[in-house]
Amino acid sequence: MNLDIDAVWIGLEKRDHPLYSCTPIGANIFGWDNCIHYCFIDGFGEMVFVVNPENFGGPYVYPLARNFSDFLGMLLTYKTTNALHQIIIFEKERFLSFFELDSWKEYNNRQEVVETLAAIQKKLNIVPMEDPYDYVMQLQKEFDHTKIRYVDEFYEQTGWEKPTE
């Protein structure tokens, strides 16, 4: 964030936005892509999470990367957060098939996208991650989602049982 890179083209808009009830307690948000936001959560170290209020039937909050460097490596591979938050939704073959669509290629080859990613890679010395899909899926298997805490409104809206401390 201190590099003064406009990351809106890759889905990391810097802005103030009202929080959703599914935004976990202790979230430190560093980027938005419409209503979807990316954050660290107090108590989880350097782990990067996505908050997806539109992920009906799935987790609203889930880890994407063990640390910010890995997160940026995934961004360099898939070129947008829009791809990252969808990893857990699709089987691998179907997920990867989206990158063959002309509309996907056209967007990701836009000058703004290319320049933003090049600036991140150069200024932070980050390289693209080899297989973000398997990385994220493995992280999902290892992570205990019940450790994430939400505001009371979330439990009331979803009917999820509020954990006892």
pLDDT in tens, 124-142: 899 999 999 999 999 999 9
Domain boundaries, the chain: 7-142
Closest to 151 in 3D by CA, of 18, 17, 47, 19: 19
Both tokens assigned to 144: 């205990």
Q: Is the pLDDT of residue 165 over 70?
A: no
Closest to 51 in 3D by CA, of 68, 76, 32, 69: 32
- Residues 19-75 pLDDT 10s: 889 999 999 999 999 899 999 999 999 999 999 998 766 789 999 999 999 999 999
Give the mean pLDDT of 157-162: 86
pTM attached to this predicted model: 0.90
Residue 65 phi, psi (nearest 5): -150, 150
The larger pLDDT score, comparing residue 10 to residue 92, is at 92
**Whole-angstrom distance, CA of residue 151 vs CA of residue 155:** 7
